[in-house]
């Protein structure tokens, strides 16, 4: 187990190094010149060269990358060109909001997805089952931008149940969480349904029934804990999927997380911020996958990590 | 030396009568107190006046800081700011500013001539990395600052606590406008040094508002500066800026009464809907802005090196139709300067839309069947749609233009290379004047200085004779020569139109909206200088 963990962590580090290198090279290959953006449109050529030298952007790419890496191991993500603040501070200020949103989305996935999945499995083949599965299909395929605006319009503007975007209270969390989690809910409901259907066919369920237990008790105490296992491991992988979604959802709802930061930085080609957010997201994905792998043996003792 | 201008207070004192000349008539209905909410899509980058140069922070910085010069609210007329009065030497080379006494920074310390000197040295020092440093190029000693061989401008001296003398190395008729730019704001040295690189997050100025709270990525709160040196200003107690709000969401919140001014304006997709609703349309404010949208043609890339081709393109563009794409939110442009800019040539009609004439001219230039070219454009709405309209217009005379739709920074980079972008539609990157003076549309975008690698003169048009004429115009610093100077500028732009390096397409109008409770002259909401809103003079009515 310990050897496995060490090996996985080493591989994770290599992956992160690879991500940092590829992102760095791609961003610096962009034709946009960050120095011109900083210097402004009235700057003379000399001013531009001065600033270029101050930022070390006149150095060869590999030297710049090495400098970035040496900063990185000391926790220095560099300074934003346009915001003129430490990238690590900008990310740290926004990370809690993103984590909260992800937690909300996971909550939504579990509540919506599991309920739908269980009901569909119990009513297998019925009209309810078909409706729920069509709904889950729509949830999986609907673009988040559209879902977000739709929810905003119906529940915030028309019904006034929730605030129109923003951040702060639990009420603010609901719509963005649902938007981000609705895709996962679709997946979860389908997985939960098939997992539940399998479990319900298992011998120990028949035994439990034969003992004369009530239907509710059989489902809640015997079937559910077993059926839910494969889904727990999915949550770690979800984090990676969320990373793509937060850019859209945070922009639509004015949610002050790192997705919004990334979107603004991309539009203005603020390279240090794009770099920073990419690395943080890559870390989250690698960690999420690692966690998913680590919890699996606890959930299912048949799986061993070597 | 001649005394050119004294403040109202001085005039009043001299005449022995109270408040004779007013630069601004206070609104008699104005109420004190209250707080408002403004939204922006993008985060506020910095409130450092030496650095801030974007849509959100421009007017915020104006409210936190002051410079020696200022503008009458809602207009482009200069008035003294932290300077109480000023004198210009006969040769136009020396400016002597007398500072207003008793002005205090937000930290309580009184502002002195030393602060003015420090601020000018700071903004021109290359280590500050100010995007506005180049505006101060006329101050003696600027070049030594720019190349790092000096740390102080030799042309700025402080003979007394409240006197600043600025010597220029060349006459500059725009110098007073430069001293009204945000970049010329007066900052206290001790606060800048205490905050280090984070002065932009902890700004200390002399302005009408001070920063009370800044939660990164969420909101900024400005609080009234009760000791502000302008009597009775500002009216509002507090302004909350909420950032990260999509314009469309901001509009929904405005309709819901949660927002007072959507800082990014009315989103184009909602414009027609808003204007068709009388209740909402009544709260829309329209104003001109010092903006021109244009197509550049790279005069160093054949076939655009032929003036006949450039004229033909000018005649082929149907400007009215392009304006329809943006819901009529513009007026057709005939020349580089926008109509509200001093120096605009009245009565000049530009190149008329004439497809047959354009075809004939193109044939005369040796391209009877047209040619293939590329049109670069920024990739956000409505620019790609405008590019398609331009593409169709060009195909009418046989020019097949393929559209290169790219991110803003990439279009700017392509324009700054001599051989990359034959044509660029300027939308989303277009020139909005830094200060209301005719010269501001020349140097970087049409003069030889901008026709360099990484420059903003994307047509690479460089006419040395016009450069000379422009320099002559800008040396006419004596206010008595004002009309002659404007005539010269008008002449420069007319000669540019003869060479046709641009197709001036339209001058965009600004449309913004306010909540029903907002008060104050409409001009304050489309202020040509304090873009987008002049926060110091607006108020709430309830």
End-to-end CA distance of chain B: 50
Q: How far is B453 from chain A (nearest CA, A)?
A: 9
Percent helix, percent strand, percent coil in chain A, to nearest 5? 80, 0, 20
Give pLDDT tens digits for B97-108.
Answer: 999 999 999 999
Given 3.40.640.10, 1.10.3720.10, 3.40.710.10, 3.30.1950.10, which CATH number is that of A87-299? 1.10.3720.10
Helices and strands counted in chain B (H then E): 17, 22
In sequence order, the 6+-apart residues with CB closer than 8 A to the CB of A85 are: A79, B46, B197, B198, B200, B201
- At A92, list the tokens: 């740290």
Q: How far is B40 from chain A (nearest CA, A)?
A: 10
Q: What pLDDT is attached to residue A305?
A: 65
Q: What pLDDT is attached to residue B21?
A: 35
**Residue (of B506, B499, B507) closest to B313 by Cα position:** B499
Nearest-Cα residue of chain B relative to residue A159: B256
Residue B61 pLDDT exceeds 50: yes
**For strand B219-224 and strand B238-243, is the pairing parallel, antiparallel, or unpaired?**
antiparallel
Fold classified for B291-508? Dipeptide-binding Protein; domain 3 (3.10.105)
Tokens 């008008």 appear where?
B490
Q: What pLDDT is attached to residue B11?
A: 36
DSSP structure string for B10-23:
HHHHHHTSSS-S-S
Q: Give the residue from B131, B139, B379, B420 with the most A CB atoms within 10 Å of its CB, the best one to mutate.
A: B131
End-to-end CA distance of chain A: 7
Cβ contact, residue pair A38, B129, below 8 Å: yes
Considering only CB atoms, A36 lies closest to which of B216, B252, B454, namely B454
Residue B1 pLDDT exceeds 80: no
Is it true that the peptide bond before B532 is cis, omega within 30 degrees of 0?
A: yes
Q: What pLDDT is attached to residue A306?
A: 63
How far apart, in Å, are the Cα atoms of B184 and each of A36, A51, B58, B112, B445? 21, 20, 13, 15, 23
Tens-binned pLDDT, residue by residue, of chain A (306 aa): 788 889 989 999 999 999 999 999 998 887 777 887 777 776 777 778 888 888 888 889 999 999 999 999 898 999 888 888 899 999 999 999 999 999 999 999 989 998 999 999 988 889 999 999 999 888 888 888 889 989 988 998 888 899 887 888 889 999 999 999 998 898 889 989 998 898 888 888 888 888 888 888 888 888 888 888 778 778 888 887 888 889 999 988 889 999 999 988 888 788 899 999 999 999 988 888 888 888 777 777 777 666
Cβ contact, residue pair B130, A94, below 8 Å: no
Instruction: Give the whole-angstrom CA distance, residue B377 versus residue B325.
Output: 15
Q: How far is A110 from chain B (nearest CA, A)?
A: 29
In sequence order, the 6+-apart residues with CB closer than 8 A to the CB of B319 are: B332, B333, B353, B505, B506
- At B49, list the tokens: 């006046």
Question: Which of the pair, B177 or A157, is modelled with greater confidence?
Answer: B177
Which range is least confidently modeled, B158-167, B179-188, B348-357, B446-455?
Answer: B446-455
Tokens 């309810």 appear where?
A128
**Residue (of B7, B178, B154) closest to B79 by Cα position:** B7
pTM of the model: 0.84
In sequence order, the 6+-apart residues with CB closer than 8 A to the CB of A212 are: none
Q: How far is A25 from chain B (nearest CA, A)?
A: 16
Give residue limits of the domains in chain B. 291-508
B523 in A contact zone (CB under 8 Å): no
Q: What is the mean pLDDT of chain B?
A: 90
Give pLDDT tens digits for B231-287.
Answer: 899 999 999 999 988 888 899 899 989 999 999 888 888 899 999 999 999 999 998
**For strand B219-224 and strand B69-71, is the pairing parallel, antiparallel, or unpaired?**
unpaired
Residues B456 and B416: beta-carbon distance below 8 Å:
yes
Cβ contact, residue pair A256, B244, below 8 Å: yes
- At B322, list the tokens: 């392009």
Q: What pLDDT is attached to residue B501?
A: 97
Residue B4 pLDDT exceeds 60: no
CATH 1.10.3720.10 domain residues, chain A:
87-299
pLDDT level of residue B95 (50, 70, 90 thresholds): very high
Q: What pLDDT is attached to residue B229?
A: 95
Q: A49: part of which helix (H) or strand (E)?
A: helix A45-54
Q: State whether the Cα torsion B59-B65-B69-B70 is positive or negative.
A: positive
Cβ contact, residue pair B126, A157, below 8 Å: no
Is it true that the peptide bond before B287 is cis, omega within 30 degrees of 0?
A: no
Give pLDDT tens digits for B288-299.
Answer: 888 999 999 999
């Amino acid at each position: 187990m310990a050897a496995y963990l060490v090996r996985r962590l080493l591989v994770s580090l290599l992956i992160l190094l690879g991500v940092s290198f590829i992102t760095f090279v791609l961003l610096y290959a962009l034709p946009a010149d960050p120095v011109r953006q900083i210097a402004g449109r009235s700057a003379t050529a000399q001013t531009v060269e001065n600033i270029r030298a101050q930022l070390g952007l006149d150095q060869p790419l590999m030297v710049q990358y090495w400098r970035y890496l040496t900063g990185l191991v000391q926790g220095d993500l560099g300074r934003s060109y346009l915001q003129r603040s430490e990238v690590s501070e900008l990310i740290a200020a926004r990370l809690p909001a993103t984590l909260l949103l992800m937690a909300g989305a996971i909550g939504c996935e579990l509540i919506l997805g599991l309920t739908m999945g269980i009901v569909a499995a119990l009513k297998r083949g019925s009209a309810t089952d078909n409706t729920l599965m069509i709904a889950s299909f729509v949830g999986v395929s609907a673009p988040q931008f559209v879902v977000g605006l739709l929810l905003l319009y119906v529940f915030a503007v028309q019904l006034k149940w929730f605030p129109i975007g923003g951040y702060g209270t639990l009420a603010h969390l609901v719509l963005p969480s649902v938007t981000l989690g609705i895709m996962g809910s679709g997946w979860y409901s389908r997985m939960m349904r098939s997992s539940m259907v399998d479990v319900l066919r298992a011998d120990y369920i028949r035994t439990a029934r034969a003992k004369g237990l009530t239907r509710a008790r059989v489902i809640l105490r015997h079937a559910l804990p077993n059926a839910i296992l494969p889904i727990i491991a999915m949550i770690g992988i979800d984090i990676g999927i969320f990373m793509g979604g937060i850019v859209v959802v945070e922009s639509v709802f004015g949610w002050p997380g790192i997705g919004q930061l990334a979107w603004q930085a991309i539009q203005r080609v603020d390279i240090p911020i794009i770099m920073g957010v990419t690395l943080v997201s890559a870390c989250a994905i690698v960690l999420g996958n690692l966690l998913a792998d680590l919890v699996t043996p606890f959930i299912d003792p048949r799986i061993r990590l070597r | 030396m001649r005394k050119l201008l004294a403040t109202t207070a001085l005039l009043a004192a001299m005449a022995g009568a109270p408040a004779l000349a007013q630069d601004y008539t206070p609104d008699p209905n104005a109420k004190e107190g209250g707080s408002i909410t403004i939204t922006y899509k993008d985060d506020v980058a910095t409130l450092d006046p030496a650095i801030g140069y974007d849509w959100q922070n421009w007017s915020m910085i104006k409210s936190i800081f002051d410079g020696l010069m200022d503008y009458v609210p809602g207009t482009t007329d200069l008035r003294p700011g932290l300077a109480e009065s000023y004198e210009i030497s006969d040769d136009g080379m020396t400016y002597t500013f007398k500072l207003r006494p008793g002005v205090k920074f937000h930290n309580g310390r009184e502002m002195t001539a030393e602060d003015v000197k420090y601020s000018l040295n700071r903004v021109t020092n290359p280590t500050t990395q100010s995007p506005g440093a180049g505006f101060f190029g006329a101050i003696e000693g600027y070049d030594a600052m720019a190349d790092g061989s000096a740390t102080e401008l030799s042309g700025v001296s402080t003979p007394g606590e409240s006197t600043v003398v600025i010597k220029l190395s060349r006459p500059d008729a725009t110098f007073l406008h430069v001293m009204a730019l945000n970049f010329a704001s007066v900052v206290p040295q001790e606060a800048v040094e205490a905050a280090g690189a984070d002065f932009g997050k902890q700004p200390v100025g002399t302005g009408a508002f001070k920063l009370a709270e800044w939660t990164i990525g969420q909101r900024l709160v400005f609080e009234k500066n009760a000791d502000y040196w302008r009597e009775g200003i500002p009216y509002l107690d507090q302004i909350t800026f909420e950032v990260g709000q999509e314009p469309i969401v901001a509009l929904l919140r405005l309709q819901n009464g949660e927002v007072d001014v959507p800082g990014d304006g009315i989103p184009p997709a909602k414009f027609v809907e808003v204007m068709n609703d009388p209740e909402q349309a009544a709260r829309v404010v329209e104003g001109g802005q010092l903006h021109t949208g244009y197509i550049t043609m790279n005069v160093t890339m054949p076939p655009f090196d032929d003036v006949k081709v450039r004229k033909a393109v000018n005649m082929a563009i149907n400007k009215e139709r392009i304006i329809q794409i943006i819901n009529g939110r513009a007026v057709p442009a005939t020349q580089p300067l926008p109509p509200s800019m001093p120096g605009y040539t009245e009565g000049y009609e530009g190149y008329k839309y004439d497809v047959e004439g354009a075809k004939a001219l193109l044939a005369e230039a040796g391209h009877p069947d047209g040619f293939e070219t590329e049109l670069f454009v920024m990739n956000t709405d409505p620019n790609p749609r405008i590019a398609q309209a331009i593409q169709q217009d060009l195909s009418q005379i046989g020019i097949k233009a393929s559209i290169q739709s790219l991110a803003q920074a990439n279009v700017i980079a392509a324009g700054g290379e001599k051989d990359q972008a034959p044509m660029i539609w300027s939308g989303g990157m277009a020139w909005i004047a830094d200060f209301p003076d005719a010269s501001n549309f020349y140097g970087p975008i049409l003069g030889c200085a901008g026709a360099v690698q990484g420059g903003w003169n994307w047509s690479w048009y460089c006419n040395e004779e016009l450069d000379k004429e422009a320099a002559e115009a800008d040396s006419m610093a004596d206010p008595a020569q004002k009309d002659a100077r404007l005539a010269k500028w008008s002449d420069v732009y007319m000669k540019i139109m003869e060479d046709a390096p641009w197709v001036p397409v339209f001058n965009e109008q600004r449309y913004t909206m306010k909540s029903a409770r907002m008060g104050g002259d409409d001009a304050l909401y489309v202020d040509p200088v304090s873009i987008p809103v002049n926060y110091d003079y607006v108020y709430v009515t309830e």
